[in-house]
Amino acid sequence: MNEVQANQSLPYTGLKVIEMTHMVMGPTCGMVLADLGAEVIKIEPITGDSTRNLRGSGAGFFSTFNRNKKSLAVDVKDSRGIEIVHKLLAGADVFSENFKSGTMDKLGLGYSALSKLNPRLVYVSHKGFLPGPYDHRTALDEVVQMMGGLAYMTGPEGRPLRAGTSVNDIMGGMFGAIGAMAALAQRERTGRGQEVQSALFENNVFLVAQHMMQFAVTGKAAAPMPSRISAWAVYDVFSVKNGEQIFLAVVSDTQWSLFCDAFGLQALKTDERIATNNQRVQARDWLMPQLREHMEQFTAAEISAVFERCGLPYAPITKPQELFDDPHLLATGGLAEVTLPADASGAGQPVVTKTALLPLTLNGHRPPLRAAPPSLGQDTRSLLQQLGYTSEDLRQLFDAGVVWFQDGRPGGTSDPSANELASA
C-alpha cells in the first residue's frame, strides 16, 4: 500500500471536527482525530492561539499538537463571528473545547444550545475535574499531579516532583478522543450525538490506580519510585566506566543466569541465598553494591552489546533531542519531516524539523503527516467561501476585524481580549 492509498483508507476520512482548544489537552484530542483522517478545523482568536507564542517548556506545544489541522481565525465575541461558528457546527460531527466551565455557554456554544442546532453532534469537553466538589477549581497538569499522588510517587521522599512531560494533558486529550470515538459508534445506532467529558484529575487518578490497588491488596502504602522496593532485584540505573549511565534489568531467574555468565559472576550465580528473584530482592542491600562496583569496569557500549546479544533488557539514558537521530524511529517511519510556519515555530521564521507520529500502525502504516501545523488564519478565506460567504462578505468581515486572513491584517481594531478565552 502506497502513501496515497494509506491516506484514503484512514478511518475518520470524511469526519468533520471543530475545535476551540488551546494548550495541550484539547489540541491532543483534535490531533488524534486529525491523524486518523478527520478534517479538523481549529478556531482561533484573531490574535492567535496563545500557545503560538509560548516559550520555555511550552515552546513545543503548538507545533506538536496542531498538525493535520486547518486554522480559522475569528472573533467569537462578535455576533457575526458566532454566526460563522454556528454555520460550521451545523454540518460538523464533533465539537471539542477545553475552556473554563460556563465559557462556552456564555458564547452560545454550550452543549444544550449546540445539540439543538445539530442533534448528531458529539460534544467533547476537556476539563480540570469532572462535575463535583472540585469542578470550580482551575487545574493544570502539575496541579493534579500534586493532588493526585503522581508527584509524590515520582520524586524522592519529601520531594514531590512532576513527571517530565505533560502526561495528564496528553492522556486527557487521548481519553477525550476515545470518548468521541465511542459516542460516534453509538450515534450509528441511535442517530444522536452526546456530550463527552474528560478531565485532568480523573486521568491522574487512573494513572496512579495501580498504587491505590497495591495498598488495597497489601495494606502497605506504595513508596515513591526512588525508594520503592522493586519487584525485581536488578532494575535500576547504573553508573559505569567514563561516568556514563545505563539502565539495566534482570527480571527472571533465567535472565539472572545469563547475566552472571556474561559478566563473570559465577560466585553470585551459585550463591544459594540469591537463587531466586524474590531472594535477590530481599538481598538488594548487599547485592546491589557488589553489582554496581563490578559493572563500573565496563563502558555503556560494552554492556549494551552484551545485553543485546543475550536478549536482556537495557536502555541508554537518552535526552529528548537525541531521539531525532534514533535509528529505530528513522528506520520505521516514526518521525515525519515537517516545516513549521513562522508563527508556530517560536523562531519567527519557518523551521524544518521532524515530528513524532502516533505510536500505532493501521494496516502496517503509521497514520501520516498530511499537513503541518497551520499558520494563523491560513484557511479562513477558503472555509468561509465553502460556507457561502461572498467576496464582499469577506471584505466586510475582514475590515471589521471579525476574521483574520493569512495574507493581511484586519482593517478594524482587533480585540486583544479575545485571547482571554485562553485563560482556562
Q: For 244-272, how does the pLDDT look when each residue is reduced to its tens digit (9 = 90+)?
A: 999 999 999 999 999 999 999 999 999 99
**Same domain for 355 and 336:** yes
Mean pLDDT of the region 196-211 = 97
Look up the pTM and report it: 0.90
Q: Are residues 236 and 301 in the same domain?
A: yes
Q: In whole angstroms, what separates CA 141 from the centre of its chain? A: 12
CA distance 130 to 195: 12
Q: pLDDT tens digits, residue range 115-133?
A: 999 999 999 999 999 999 9
The answer on 91 and 42 residing in a single domain is yes
Q: What is the mean pLDDT of the chain?
A: 92
* Residue that has been written with the C-alpha cell 472540585 in this structure: 134
Interval 361-366 mean pLDDT:
94
- Please tell me the predicted confidence (pLDDT) of residue 409: 47
Confirm if 314 and 304 have CB atoms less than 8 A apart.
Answer: yes
**Res. 171: pLDDT tops 50:** yes
Note whether residue 355 is domain-resident. yes
d(CA 284, CA 40): 53
Answer positive or negative: Cα dihedral of 115, 118, 122, 125: negative
Q: What is the pLDDT of residue 137?
A: 92
**Exposure letters 356-390 (e unless 16+ CB within 10 A, then b):** ebeeeeeeebbbbbebbbbbbbbbbbebbeeeebe
Same domain, 123 and 33: yes
Q: Is residue 222 part of a domain?
A: no
In this prediction, residues 171-177 reach a mean pLDDT of 98
13 shares a domain with 85 = yes
61: containing domain: 3-207+327-423
Task: Report percent pLDDT > 90 for the chain.
Answer: 85
Residue 213 lies in a domain: no
User: CATH no. for residue 361?
Assistant: 3.40.50.10540
For residue 423, pLDDT beyond 80? no
Q: Which of 262, 295, 316 is the last residue of a domain?
A: 316
Q: Among the three residues 316, 343, 373, which one is the final residue of a domain in this structure? A: 316
Same structural domain, 100 and 188: yes
Q: Give the end of a domain, one of 283, 316, 349.
A: 316
